[in-house]
A = this chain, B = another copy of it.
Amino acid sequence: MKPLRVAVLGVTGAVGQEFLSILEERKFPISELRLLASKRSAGKEVKFRDKQYKIEEATPDSFQGIDLVLSSAGGSVSRALAPHAVRAGAVVVDNTSAFRMDPEVPLVVPEINPEDIFKHKGMIANPNCSTIIMLVPLFPIHRVSRIKRVVVSTYQSASGAGAQAMKELRIQAREILDGKIPTKAAFPHQIAFNLFSHNSAIQEGGFCEEEIKMMKETKKIFHDDEIKVVATTVRVPVFRAHSESIMIELEKEISAEEVKSILLKAPGVKVVDDPKGNHYPMPIEAEGHDEILVGRIRKDPTVEKGIALFVSGDQLRKGAALNAVQIAEEWAKKL
């Protein structure tokens, strides 16, 4: 892979920070690195591979001479700046929801639809974190026996709402332990020792945006308009890994044992399924790991050809930054 000129947009956020860790860890070949953020953060210094970098303010002119932009600065910033980056000749891997459902923009999980990367017109979208964490283990099953319907309930960590939200969980927990009234800022409701329906806007039909993302993005990534997904998304007091309780209905019967053996060979998946030790996927064990943990694999006896499972995956890694860097790697390999 030839070294690239890389810009990280939104470098001060939780995903932005994770981009740097992952680029470093995976020895991504970089000839030039530009760190971009809002005006507020401009001038701050960040270390990368033993070198200090100064954060610059992101403007429409920030992308001259850049090959690859890893972007995670929020939907409105992406909408405003990404087209300038594309016009300047860069390829943008965008972690926001701004362009995901655009038919001109590939939406990619490298374990599932890497071929879509090469249909890009300058922009490649990274799916929603809950969608990625659900689909990495579902796709290898889907390839053996088509999944007709998915019923999913999520247990989403604070990190999905950014670095401030993770901090808020910590601050509120201490306030409550100390008998104080918890301070609310990042979340509309108390997050410590509580949980609540995902606070994205409720749309027609009563589903929230997060649920609609899971329902729509699955169809696009799987190239299967017939797959039905119904989701209930819930925020829980966990720092940085999402969990999901998933029930699937398959086209042809496969046993729980077969599903387990499919998942044991699947890329990006680690089976954690020990009934004797009562050891199954947990967010604290998914944290910091690349794989999606999968367990509780069992036949759902209440429906024909049903399978139930439980997954945990690091929201900042595979749910966001890692998936985006993997997309960039696949793309860069063929340059």
Tell me whether A237 is interfacial, beta carbon within 8 Å: yes
Q: Mark A229-268, 1 if CB is under 8 A from B, else 0.
A: 1101010111100010101000000001000000000000
Q: Tell me whether A188 and B278 are in contact (CB under 8 A).
A: yes
Q: Are A239 and B295 in contact (CB under 8 A)?
A: no
Alpha-carbon distance A113/B332, docked complex (angstroms): 65
Shortest distance from the beta carbon of A280 to any chain B beta carbon, whole Å: 4
- Tell me how many residues of A have a C-beta within 8 Å of chain B: 57
CA distance A275 to B169 in the complex (A): 24
Q: What CA separation (Å) do A205 and B297 show in the bound complex?
A: 10
**Contact indicator B238/A197 (Cβ below 8 Å):** no
Residues of B within 8 A of A229 (CB): 302
Binding-face segment, A38-46, A74-82, A148-156, A313-321? A148-156
Given A230-B302, A236-B155, A237-B237, residue A283 in contact with residue B197 (CB < 8 A): no
Listed stretches A7-15, A119-127, A131-139, A170-178; interface member: A170-178
| Of A16-24, A89-97, A303-311, the one with at least 4 CB within 8 A of chain B | A303-311
Residues of B contacting A245 in the complex (Cβ-Cβ under 8 angstroms): 153, 232, 234, 245
**How far is A236 from B300 in the complex, measured between Cα atoms in Å?**
23
Interface centre among A170, A188, A298 (most CB of B within 10 A): A298
Q: Give the number of times this chain occurs in the complex, counting copies.
A: 2
Binary interface profile of A, 173-214, with partner B (CB < 8 Å = 1, else 0)? 110010000000000111001111101011001111000000
Query: Is A216 in contact with chain B by the CB < 8 A criterion?
Result: no
Residue of B whose beta carbon sits closest to that of A199: B278
Decide if B193 touches A310 in the complex (CB within 8 Å). Answer: no
- From B177, B230, B237, B281, A238 is in contact (CB under 8 Å) with B237
Q: Counting CB contacts under 8 A, is A88 at the interface?
A: no
Q: Does A299 contact B (CB under 8 A)?
A: yes
Q: Which residue of B lies closest to A247 (CB)?
A: B151
Complex CA–CA separation, A280 to B236 (angstroms): 14
A320 to chain B, nearest CB (A): 19
**Nearest CB in chain B to that of A177: its residue:** B174
Q: What's the nearest-Cβ distance from chain B to residue A291, in Å? A: 18
The complex places the Cα of A239 from the Cα of B208 at a distance, in Å, of 26
A residues neighboring B (CB under 8 Å): 149, 151, 153, 155, 169-170, 173-174, 177, 188-190, 193-197, 199, 201-202, 205-208, 228-230, 232, 234, 236-239, 243, 245, 247, 256, 275-276, 278, 280-284, 295-303, 306, 308, 310
